A and B are shown apart, each in its own frame.
Chain A
Amino acid sequence: MRMSRLLSSLMTATALLIGATAANAADDWPNKPLKLIVPFPPGGAADAVGRIVAEKLGEALKQPVVVENKAGAGTAIAADAAAKAAPDGYTLSLAPAGQLTILPHLNKSIPYDPFKSFAPVSLVAEVPYVIGASADTPAATLKDLIAAAKREPGKLSYSSCGNGTLCHLSGELFKTLTGTDLLHVPFKGSAPAIQALLGNQVNLAFDTLTILAPQVKAGKVKGLVITSKTRSPLLPEVPTAAEAGLPEFVVSSWFGIVVPAATPQPVVSRLNAEINRIAALPDVRERLAAQGLDAIPSTPEAFTKTIHDDYARWGKVVEASGAKLD
């Protein structure tokens, strides 16, 4: 009896020990604070997503997750830092769509590889794009717009939140799809780009639902089309791209979490499970929805596929538009 008890406890201990070695990194992980790199300055949708994830992840892992805003070089500085961080599961990175799928096409000298440098953990949220037209623009629907743009090629202009951003390339995608010619006027960020739209200095702006919804709601800007599959409760009057007759106009500004490529698999799985759980929390969904964001948690594999698909798609748009950054 005594013997068997000793034996059984010995066996339990051994089993525990083996289990611990097998999962060693995942087992005592995390035993110190984690870091989440956000590639934009505080404020804005990316930062909001990052802070929500950091807060909830911190509660779940019982270790603080500190948000580090590392802005610059169109998110390349943050990506570089994230790629070079120790793959120990303590450095996470919030990757916006453009960082992994657009920037590598525009800037051949970026110091990271969108596929090899990172292990995708999960998508977190996405926000659709809206085409906004200024009050003076002679178009109330997408059809009007295409007709007006074809009537006088190069006459209509659009403002974007910067060269080589998703704002810019969604405009270029629109041009390619409709065979129209619009004048691109880049700005430094969304705020001045929308200001130019409000002041009737440009005709159109391609930007996120978050940015354009309040202006459309207030009647200062005409919302022509939204890129989501269904209409948004924030702007129920604005038709989807498919409804408006341009189903190929697919633009999604998504945010996902990635870790350095060599991060142990158990850590990635655990993070993926937590993010999927977090993204399903009602208060998280509510907070994201307030910004026009939809929670879209995924498996690491699905996220990887999204990166590959979007990379190929935007590559073609970049090529067709001739956009480049040196």
Chain B
Amino acid sequence: MELFSQLGHGFEAALSLTNLGYCLIGVTLGTLVGVLPGIGPVATIAMLLPVTYGQPPLSALIMLAGIYYGAQYGGSTSAILVNLPGESSSVVTCLDGHAMARKGRAGAALGIAALGSFFAGTVATLLIAALADPLATLALKFGPAEYFSLMVLGLIAAVVLANGSLVKAVAMTVLGLLLGLIGTDVNSGTERYSFGIPELSDGFGFVVVSMGLFGIAEIIHNLEKGIERNIFATSVGGIWPTRADFKAAWKPVLRGTFLGSVLGVLPGGGAILSSFAAYTIEKKLAKDPSRFGQGAIEGVAAPESANNAGAQTSFIPLLTLGIPPNAVMALMVGAMMIHGIVPGPQVMTEKPELFWGLIASMWIGNLMLVLLNLPLIGIWIRLLRVPYQVLYPAILVFCCIGIYSVNQSTTEVAFAVGFGLLGWLFIKLQCEPAPLLLGFVLGPLMEENLRRAMLLARGDPTVFVTRGLSLTLLLMAVALLVILVLPSVRRTRDVAFHED
């Protein structure tokens, strides 16, 4: 088997003491910055880029890649513990992960997230090794029409994220779409809703919106209720996932891994959708969907696996096509170029030891992350015992620094206050912010691709149904819509409602 001999060579390269060391540095640093909201892997990799000048290229890439997927692990930690989604992919983890933490089951949530991620990372690494080329070809089949149809599917799925009123969830999604349109329109260059404020010409940053709606709003809400009641139930049972947890989680992990691996390959939007899609599927498959949002372990296992699988397979467009699918990958391109490696279709054949070494290191890195994160769970849980009156100013500080660090912009910090107050209003009105965030992320992509598809088709709307892949996606969207609407037609949907 050629594949195994190549992977073997890869492991040989990745297992050298130096490379193991760099891998460990990368994943540790990644975990750290992932936990800090807003800072994220982009800033860290940018900072470390100059350090890599002196390293051998493979070591440099191993370290930087480690930061990237290490941050995915870390990101789930802050989502679960303090309800702060630093990236769009952690938004869904907040829903059930943080609910579990409030019930004293933070350890179980963190444990399942780590183990699910490890499994997903393993599978995705194998997938890159075996199927990088065909998957990259699939990515190229996605034109504007396909992206539009995919976004439609994603938006319909977004509604499932909500626990309460379906109508309000739709409204929040639409509001999110509108908020996402703020800023310069890609197709015409017109600035919309920016009112001459330069910081708005690229729209609101994701971190600004999510820190406001989730972080700040929740702190205001908790304080208003009075914090005599402790926010977190003191540890119920052990800090590890139970046998029942594993039993409930293994299938979601499998499904999440599959979804994440496939969607992760699509640059622009794929990675965002994977965790949302995985959550939607679990909620639809569950015997009792009402548990979701209240701390269902499947609601953590599936999206976390999808997220990590997607993080791994998003290396495929970079390694096979030379196209960086996100900001982190763009930095990896920079890192490769520093070493005179031109990322592109030839890397695989011209520098096999680099390609396979990197892939092997990803598996090793994932293993390190599990070994690193499982013991950390104990420490994180102790953090939750810190009285809330000490914890919340700290969360606020990290929110502020996180937002500021993205663009060194104080205006954006001020915007977050606005979103905090808006989020507080939403809590009072029982409108859930998760669908809004998904709409916010997908809105511009959807409009952009819709108009681009129409532009390329010279104004012919049939383009969405004459292309097979696009048609398939639209049919799936219709099917999902039917599944969604049917139950509420059959029985009058009771206003699901939980006073906490």
B contacts with A, residue count (CB < 8 A)? 53
Contact flags (1/0) for B63-100 with A, using CB distance below 8 Å?
00000000000000000000000000000000000000
**Contacting A73 at CB < 8 Å: which of B141, B198, B343?**
B198
Name which residue of chain B comes closest to A37, CB basis: B408
Q: Among A214, A218, A287, find the residue whose CB has the most chain B CB atoms closer than 10 A.
A: A214
Tell me which residues across on chain B come within 8 A of A188, comparing CB atoms: 186, 448
Q: Complex: how many Å from CA A191 to CA B268?
A: 10
Determine if A326 is an interface residue (Cβ-Cβ < 8 Å): yes
Interface positions, chain B 135-173, Cβ under 8 Å from A, are 139-144
* CB within 8 Å for A201 and B143 given contacts A214-B322, A218-B344: yes
Residues of A near B334 (CB, < 8 A) are 42-44, 47-48
Chain B neighbourhood of A73, CB < 8 A: 184, 198-199, 201-202
Q: Given A42-B43, A163-B186, A163-B188, are A214 and B452 also a contact pair (CB < 8 Å)?
A: no
Query: In the complex, are the beta carbons of B202 and A42 less than 8 A apart?
Result: no
Q: Complex Cα distance A290/B53, Å? A: 13
Q: Known: A43-B324, A187-B186, A198-B321. Contact between A217 and B344, CB under 8 A?
A: yes
Q: Are A191 and B337 in contact (CB under 8 A)?
A: no
B199 to nearest A CB, angstroms? 7
A110 to B: closest C-beta gap in Å: 9
Q: Known interface pairs A42-B331, A196-B143, A214-B343. Does A185 touch B407 (Cβ–Cβ under 8 Å)?
A: no
Q: How far is the CB of A97 from chain B (nearest CB, A)?
A: 18
Q: Which of B331, B344, B407 contacts A71 (CB 8 A)?
A: B407
Contact yes or no, A51 B50, CB < 8 A: yes
Chain B 381-397: CB-based contact to A (< 8 A → 1; otherwise 0): 00000000000000000
Asked if A325 contacts B140 (CB within 8 A), the reply is: no
Residue among B43, B198, B202, B322 making CB contact with A215, cutoff 8 Å: B322
Given known contacts A42-B45, A68-B408, A291-B337, A77 and B343 CB-to-CB distance under 8 angstroms: no
Q: Is A205 interfacial (CB-CB < 8 Å)?
A: no
- What distance in Å separates the Cβ of A207 from its nearest Cβ neighbour in chain B? 12
In the bound assembly, the distance between CA atoms of A11 and B30 in angstroms comes to 60
Is B189 within 8 A of A48, CB to CB?
A: no
For the complex, give the distance between the alpha carbons of A207 and B150 in Å. 28
Q: Say whether B198 contacts A43, CB under 8 Å.
A: no
Cα-based distance from A77 to B339 in the complex (angstroms):
31
* Binary B-proximity of A306-326 (CB < 8 A = 1, otherwise 0): 000000000000000001111
Contacts of B198 in A (CB 8 A): 72-73, 76-77, 80, 111
- Whether A77 and B45, one on each chain, are in contact in the complex, defined by CB atoms closer than 8 angstroms, is no
- How near does chain A come to B354, taking the closest CB pair, in angstroms? 14
Q: Does A213 contact B (CB under 8 A)?
A: yes
Which residues of A87-129 have CB atoms within 8 Å of chain B's CB atoms?
106, 109, 111
- Tell me if A's interface is mostly helix, strand, loop or mixed: mixed
Q: Report the Cα distance A175→B51, complex, angstroms.
A: 44
Q: Which residues of the partner chain B approach A21 to less than 8 Å between Cβ atoms?
A: none
Whether A192 and B268, one on each chain, are in contact in the complex, defined by CB atoms closer than 8 angstroms, is: yes
Point out the residues of chain B lying under 8 angstroms from A291, CB to CB. Answer: 337
- For residue A324, which residue of chain B has the nearest CB? B189
B194-211: CB near A (< 8 Å → 1, else 0) gives: 001011011000000000
Report B267-295 CB contacts with A as 1/0, cut-off 8 Å.
11000000000000000000000000000
A195 touching B456, Cβ below 8 Å: no
Do residues A191 and B191 form an inter-chain contact, with CB atoms below 8 A? no
Question: Within the complex, what minimum Cβ distance (angstroms) separates B464 from chain A?
Answer: 14
Cβ A195 vs Cβ B321 within 8 A: yes
Complexed CA–CA distance, A186 and B43 (Å): 27
Q: How far is the CA of A44 from the CA of B330 in the complex (A)?
A: 7
Decide yes or no whether A55 CB sits under 8 A from chain B: yes
Chain B nearest CB, measured from A223 CB (Å): 13
Closest to A194 in B: B323
Q: Which residues 335-390 of B have a CB within 8 angstroms of A? A: 337-340, 342-346
A150 close to B (CB within 8 Å): no
Residue of A nearest to B188 (CB): A163
* B327 contacts chain A at the CB level, 8 A cutoff: yes
Considering the chains assembled together, what is the distance between the CA atoms of A196 and B322 in angstroms?
13
Which residues does chain A contribute within 8 Å of B325, judged by CB atoms? 191
The residue on A at minimum CB distance from B322 is A214
For the complex, give the distance between the alpha carbons of A48 and B334 in Å.
7
Cα separation A314 to B139 with both chains bound (whole Å): 36
A192's nearest neighbour on chain B, judged by CB, is: B268
Please name all residues of chain B whose beta carbon is closer than 8 Å to the beta carbon of A43 when the two chains form the complex: 42, 46, 324, 327, 330-331, 333-334
Which positions 23-52 of chain A face chain B at CB distance < 8 Å? 41-44, 47-48, 51
Shortest C-beta distance, A150 to chain B (Å), equals 19
Is B190 in the interface zone, CB < 8 Å from A? yes
A297 beta carbon closer than 8 Å to chain B: no
The interface residues of chain B lying within 8 Å CB-to-CB of A199 are 140-143
- Given A41-B42, A43-B333, A199-B140, A185–B452 Cβ distance below 8 Å? yes
A285 within 8 A of B: no
Most buried by A among B42, B325, B334: B334
Question: Could you say which residues of chain A place their CB within 8 Å of the CB of B234?
Answer: none
Q: Does A231 contact B (CB under 8 A)?
A: no
User: Is B417 on the interface with A (CB-CB < 8 A)?
Assistant: no
The residue in A73, A213, A217 that gathers the most chain B C-beta atoms within 10 A of its C-beta is A73
Residues of B within 8 A of A326 (CB): 189-191
Q: Is B49 within 8 A of A42, CB to CB?
A: yes
Residue of B49, B141, B317, B325 with most partner-chain A CB within 10 A: B49
A291 to B337, CA, bound (A): 6
Q: Is the CB of A214 within 8 A of B46?
A: no
Q: Are A72 and B201 in contact (CB under 8 A)?
A: yes
A42-B331, A183-B455, A218-B346 are contacts. A76–B43 as well, Cβ < 8 Å?
no
* Contact status of A191 and B267, CB under 8 A, knowing A68-B408, A215-B344, A218-B344: yes
- Minimum C-beta distance from A232 to chain B (A): 13
Distance (Å) between the CB of B18 and the closest chain A CB? 22
Residue of A nearest to B141 (CB): A199
> Closest Cβ of chain B: how far from A318's Cβ, in Å?
12
CA distance A43 to B407 in the complex (A): 14
Closest 5 CB pairs of A and B: A214-B344, A42-B46, A163-B189, A43-B330, A218-B345
Residues of B within 8 A of A (CB): 42-43, 45-46, 49-50, 139-144, 184, 186-191, 196, 198-199, 201-202, 267-268, 317, 321-325, 327, 330-331, 333-334, 337-340, 342-346, 407-409, 448, 452, 455-456
Q: What would be 11 A-B contacts, judged by CB atoms less than 8 Å apart?
A: A41-B327, A42-B330, A43-B333, A72-B201, A73-B199, A77-B199, A77-B201, A164-B189, A195-B321, A201-B456, A214-B322
Apart from A72-B202, A198-B321, what 18 extra A-B contacts exist at CB < 8 Å?
Answer: A42-B42, A42-B43, A42-B46, A42-B327, A70-B409, A72-B199, A185-B456, A186-B186, A195-B139, A195-B267, A198-B140, A198-B323, A201-B144, A213-B342, A214-B344, A290-B337, A290-B339, A326-B191
